[in-house]
Structures are given as structure tokens and as C-alpha cells.
A and B are shown apart, each in its own frame.
Chain A
Amino acid sequence: MTLAKRIIPCLDVDQGRVVKGVKFLDIRDAGDPVEVAKRYDEQGADEITFLDITASVEGRDTMVRTVERMASQVFVPLTVGGGIREVADIRRMLNAGADKVSINSAAVKRPEFVLEASQRFGAQCIVAAIDAKRVSADGEPGRWEIFTHGGRNRTGIDAVAWAERMADYGAGEILLTSMDADGTKAGYDLALVKAITSAVRVPVIASGGVGNLQHLCDGIVQGGADAVLAASIFHFGEYTVGQAKDFLAVHGICMRR
């Protein structure tokens, strides 16, 4: 038997509620994060990721309480991201019951933060979240750069080189989001996923763009991802995690059933 590929439902959480993070649709309330996470746990989710999209201080305290409630009821790994800027933020989330934290803009600002975090807490709980956008013209070989602030700020950092650096600095895993694909429901940017999975030895989670179950399959088979993350296809009952696993298993992908 071999290591199973993972399916990771992602919850975007704002002020203690799950929201659908798609810009061009109305923001829809998708429920209490603990209830939603429990539902995914029961459906067989391999891990659960939630991203705090709140900027306010009150929102952060709400998030810590949400993590605490979730950790008492959900017994698969939990990853928390959004606003992790210093060692104290990591400590707070781990103490609340998170198993991993994902670090994004703080790493772009100061890459050594990932190194320090990994040495302090271990690579197993440090996820480097990378938001990449294609900068090569059509017909050129693919090239992607890291963007921050929801895709507005171009950093000039090459995505593949950045992923390698994050892995060198002790990130135990990479959460890779295509900013071009995110919210389109047209599938992952498979060339991007392939470029990153070929470059690093740590596991890679593909994210951004899932609209159907075939997209999950493509992320693993064509992109080489170790785990696939999706949000909206699960939130509103389009598919259950169990249906996704059945589909991938039929396509020859090793799943935990």
C-alpha cells in the first residue's frame, strides 16, 4: 500500500463565519466553521484548512476561539492561515489546537521568519503559502511570480525559486495557489503545479480554481500534487468529500476510505 493523496476542504473564515471567497459572486454565508468542519470530518476529509480573512483585532480573537472549539471536535489535522506574522502568532494558534500554520506575506516580507518558525516548532507544522500569477506571455515557457495583497502587488520573485527557498528554510509543505485560476472554477493552473512539484521534495497542496471533481484528479495526476484543496465545491453541497474520494479512487488514485 502507498501513501494516500489528501483531499483538503478549505474554509475562508470572516468574523467567525465561513464565507465563500469568490470575488465576482455575492458573498454567501456558508455557516459556522465548527459545524462545517465537523461535516467535512464526517465525510472523510483528510485535513481541514481554514484561512482567516479578517483583518481586525477582534476578528483575530474570534479566530482563536474558533480554533479552540474546532480542535475539541475535529480529529484530523487542522491548518490555520491568515495574519501569521510572528512567532507569537504561531504559538497562539498551536496552543488553540491548530496542527499547522500557513505563512504567506510575512515570509515574502522576511523569508528568515520561515526558518525561525521551522527551527522553533518543527517543519511538520510550517506550511509556506505561495500565491503565484503567470507573468509569461502566451506561447512562452511558463513563468510565474509571487504576488501579495490579493494579487495587486508584484514582487518580482520567481515562484519556482521561491518554493525551493521556502523548502530550504524548513517549510514542511507548500500550499500553492494560482491567482489566475482562483475563483474561476476552470481548474488548477496545472503547468504551475507541475513546475513546483518537480522542483521541491516537500509535499505540495494544489489550490485555486476547482470547479468539478475532474479538476481534483488533474491536480494529482497531471500536476503531481500530493494534496488537493477546494472550497466552494464542498460548501454548498455540490459534492461531498466522499464523492470526491470515490471519483479519484475510480481513476486509480490512492485514497483513505
Chain B
Amino acid sequence: MTSVAVLDYGMGNLHSVAKALEHVGASRVVISDDVATIRAADRVVLPGQGAMRDCMAAMHEHGIAALVDELVRSKPLLGICVGMQAMLTRSDENGGVDGLGLYTGQVKCFNDVPTIEAQRLKVPHMGWNTVSQQREHALWDGIADGARFYFVHSYYCLPDNPALSVGRCDYGLPFSCAIAHENVFATQFHPEKSAQDGLRLLQNFLRWNP
């Protein structure tokens, strides 16, 4: 029996991730911005959609930013998409936005990558791409190295510490699409939209005891 709080700070579609967590066996999923409710949950998901500036502003407004600092030390935390990007120091999106700064690193735009232009790759990076597992992790359990996950993003993460990266994707350049540190795991791709492998990752998250 495990309960999950999906942090709600007013951005985008949280229904998908909640439904997927229920589907893989979470006993209770709450979508909430209430500090007490979030503290009471066994595990926490930090989702994110849309523009980084709006996400960060909403996180500060709802008191999520301060709370995440505490959660990082206390329970399993899964970041998804902009939820992963927000963990780094700073993003180039919207003319430059400070992230939560849990880990030092930058978030860069695919449009500024010369090889993306040269190879005429589309931006956003949208669709199913392969994820190379850079090291073993409980959340990769039962998922083949090189399995495809669903991505939709125009910005990518560049963590300073390469050891943080547990998953690598390639789109014009290799980039980190999953990071892990202690009780935190975060993905650039959307596990809740990635069919069986995505559901497996969410199930692994529910069972994870870091």
C-alpha cells in the first residue's frame, strides 16, 4: 500500500500521471498543492508542462519550491519533463529562468544546437526515442536497455555532474534524459505516456525503497 501526491501548481495535465499511477497499483493518488497532504503521502511526483517561467512562478506561488527542498531529503520523489528541468540551476527558456537548483546544471534549447539545424531535425523533439541506461537503478528494473519512451520537449538538461545521469538519449546530440540522486529520480520523457515500459517505471517507483 502506497500513497502518492502529485504536486499541483496549476500547470497542465496531471490526470494522465495520476491515472497511470493508479493503474500500476498506487493505493491512493492525490493531486494537491496542500502542504500537509503532500507531507502525508509516501511518495511525491513533481510533474511539469509548458513554459519554464510559468512553471517556476507557479511553484513559488503555491509554496511548492520551498517544499521540494524538504521532500528531497525525506521521501521518494519523481520529476517528469519540466519537473526534471526545474531541478537544475537555470534554464535558457523565456530569456532565462532560475530553477530550483537542487543540482547544478543548465537547461538548453535544441534550436541553439548546430547539429539539430544541420540535420534538419524537428523541434520540439516529439515522439518515441531510445533511452540508454547509464547505470543500474531500481527504476530501470524490468526495462530493456535502449527501450523507447515518449518525449515532447524543446529544451534539454545539461547537469554539471555527469554521475547524476542515469539515462541518455540522442537527438542531434547526446543528452541526459534521466537523472538520479539518493531518493530523487527524474525523467525528461513521459513515463505516463510511454505504454508498457513507462508503466513499469512508475510501478518501480511505487516499490522503490531508496
Contacts and interface: CB of A to CB of B under 8 A. Distances in A.
Interface of A: 1-6, 41, 44, 46, 71-73, 75-77, 94-99, 119-125, 172-173, 201-203, 226-227, 256
A4 B16 contact: no
Contacts of A201: 122-123
B16 A97 contact: yes
Contacts of A77: 150, 152, 190, 193
A210 B190 CA distance: 30
A122 B195 contact: no
A41 to B, nearest CB: 7
Contacts, number: 99
A97 B19 contact: yes
Contacts of A6: 127-128
B20 interface: yes
A73 B199 CA distance: 11
Interface centre among B22, B127, B128, B198 (most CB of A within 10 A): B127
Interface of B: 12-13, 15-16, 19-20, 22-23, 49-51, 121-130, 146, 148, 150, 152-154, 170-171, 190, 192-195, 198-199
Contacts of B128: 3-4, 6, 46, 256
Nearest to A197: B122
Contacts of A97: 13, 15-16, 19
Given A1-B130, A6-B128, A76-B195, A71 B15 contact: yes
A3 B50 contact: no
B78 to A, nearest CB: 16
B13 A99 contact: yes
Contacts of A5: 127
B122 A75 contact: no
Given A201-B123, A202-B124, A1 B15 contact: no
A122 B146 contact: no
B129 A4 contact: yes
A173 B126 contact: yes
Contacts of A227: 127
Nearest to B146: A1
Nearest to B147: A256
Contacts of A71: 15-16, 19
A172 B121 CA distance: 14
A1 B129 CA distance: 8
A122 B49 contact: yes
B126 to A, nearest CB: 5
13 contacts: A1-B170, A3-B171, A41-B195, A71-B16, A75-B195, A94-B13, A96-B15, A97-B15, A97-B19, A121-B12, A121-B50, A124-B49, A203-B127
A115 to B, nearest CB: 13
Contacts of B146: 1
Find the residue from B23, B49, B128, B199 having the highest chain A CB count within 10 A: B128
A3 B125 contact: yes
A203 B122 CA distance: 6
A172 B124 contact: yes
A30 B117 CA distance: 43
B148 A256 contact: yes
Contacts of A172: 124, 126, 152
A98 B193 CA distance: 11
Given A122-B12, A122-B51, A226 B122 contact: yes
A119 B122 CA distance: 20
A75 B194 contact: yes
A123 B193 contact: no
B177 to A, nearest CB: 12
Going nearest first, the 10 A-B pairs with the smallest beta carbon separation are A122-B50, A1-B130, A256-B128, A124-B152, A4-B128, A97-B15, A94-B13, A256-B148, A203-B122, A72-B19
Contacts of A123: 124, 154
A203 B152 CA distance: 11
Contact of B127 (A72, A75, A122, A226): A226
Contact of B123 (A4, A94, A99, A202): A202
Contacts of B23: 72-73, 75
A256 B13 CA distance: 25
Contacts of A94: 12-13, 15
